[in-house]
A = this chain, B = another copy of it.
Amino acid sequence: MGAARRPPAARSAPTIYDVARESGVAASTVSRAFSRPGRVNAETAKRIRAAADRLGYRTNPLARALPTGKTAMIALVLSDVTNPVYFQIIRGAETAAAAAGYTLLLADTQESSLVEREAIERAIPAVEGLVLSSSRMSDSAIRMAAKQRPVVVVNRVFSDVPCVVTDNVRGMRRVVEHLAELGHDTITYLAGPEASWADGMRWRSIREACVDLELRVRRLGPYRPTIGGGLAATADLLAAPSTAVVAYNDLLAIGLMRGLDRAGVRLPQDMSVVGFDNVFGSDFCTPALTTVAAPLRDLGTAAVQQLLGQLRGGTPRTGKPTVLPVRLLVRDSTAQRSRDSSPA
């Protein structure tokens, strides 16, 4: 038998009025004692604070939010919580938010632009701003949201909405350089979701790098950005092999490696595979995946900090996106191109 019968919200917490009575001042004074330090006499403030402690008073964020609009909450909107790229992004965002006294409201849109739109609509009145990560919504829908609340977009670029992105260009360039050094002359890119801005960017980047370094590239896909997607890509790849494969992201790469392994392809001797993101698991799959380490945690932190900056009255910092640096992690899934393997 739990707590005895009681109204759902338990006995109500003490209010400024209780504190006011306890300390012998008016409620407004109590309010000011908390929200506006210098405004009340130091002595009085101390007395009030003591009374508040005695009563266990905590200011009610909802009540405060009504007149001021400051809810101390920001929404983090994700395309899929079960995707490991988000672990670190969430962690980074959470840490930054908590440090500033803000609380995160989480919305998982399950890769659906419809669900995403509804989640945003529901969240907007309760939050001061939003971080949209890997949004699947249209540009105009995002701009619409940005008109109602400050917004920072992660992993997607806008000229008129602040955004924080991974340095896809340099990342892909490093990948191509690495593969070129290993003697590969043709690269196959496994594409991710069409609605993904990052996919377009990564494809463009790899193509340009290949032009510069005089390698050939081709593109297979799109595939779902999951292990299942990688498994599904295996057949396509085997139908037209290549000595070097770069996947849109690690999940796709890991799935592909599993598929190739089942098909008897030896990695990395027969084929080199590269991922992107350096998600949890990319180091302990077999072979350990060579990948581009995206600054996931920093992405979350930077996005929230930029949002908080706006909330404090800063200008939105639009125009150029904030680009965060990447690092190529060479592990065991890439190797010198063997003489006997034939390009496509």
Contacts and interface: CB of A to CB of B under 8 A. Distances in A.
Nearest to A106: B106
Given A1-B318, A162-B2, A316-B3, A87 B84 contact: yes
A300 B340 CA distance: 52
Contacts of A227: 284
A254 interface: yes
A265 interface: no
A285 B73 CA distance: 38
Contact of A2 (B71, B105, B123, B318): B318
A280 B60 CA distance: 39
B126 A73 contact: yes
A200 interface: no
Contacts of A7: 69
A24 interface: no
A60 B67 CA distance: 12
A147 to B, nearest CB: 6
A197 B148 CA distance: 44
Interface in A86-119: 87-88, 90-91, 94-95, 98, 101, 103-108, 119
A211 interface: no
Interface in A6-58: 7-10, 13, 58
Contact of A281 (B8, B65, B284, B316): B284
B2 A316 contact: yes
A317 to B, nearest CB: 8
Interface of A: 1-3, 7-10, 13, 58, 60-63, 65-66, 69, 71, 73, 76, 81-82, 84, 87-88, 90-91, 94-95, 98, 101, 103-108, 119, 121-123, 125-126, 128, 146-150, 160-162, 227, 254, 258, 280-281, 284-286, 310-311, 313, 315-316, 318-319
A13 B155 CA distance: 29
**Which A-B residue pairs are the 9 nearest by beta carbons?**
A2-B316, A286-B286, A281-B281, A9-B69, A2-B318, A106-B106, A82-B87, A94-B108, A104-B106
Nearest to A150: B8
B106 A94 contact: yes
B103 A105 contact: yes
A8 B313 contact: yes
Contact of A104 (B105, B128, B160): B105
Nearest to A282: B281
Contacts of A126: 61-62, 73, 103
Contacts of A65: 62
A311 B6 CA distance: 11
A94 B66 contact: no
Nearest to A315: B2
27 contacts: A1-B160, A2-B161, A2-B316, A2-B318, A3-B146, A3-B160, A8-B150, A8-B311, A9-B69, A9-B128, A60-B125, A62-B62, A62-B71, A62-B126, A76-B106, A81-B94, A84-B87, A90-B106, A94-B106, A94-B108, A98-B108, A98-B119, A103-B105, A104-B106, A281-B281, A281-B284, A285-B285
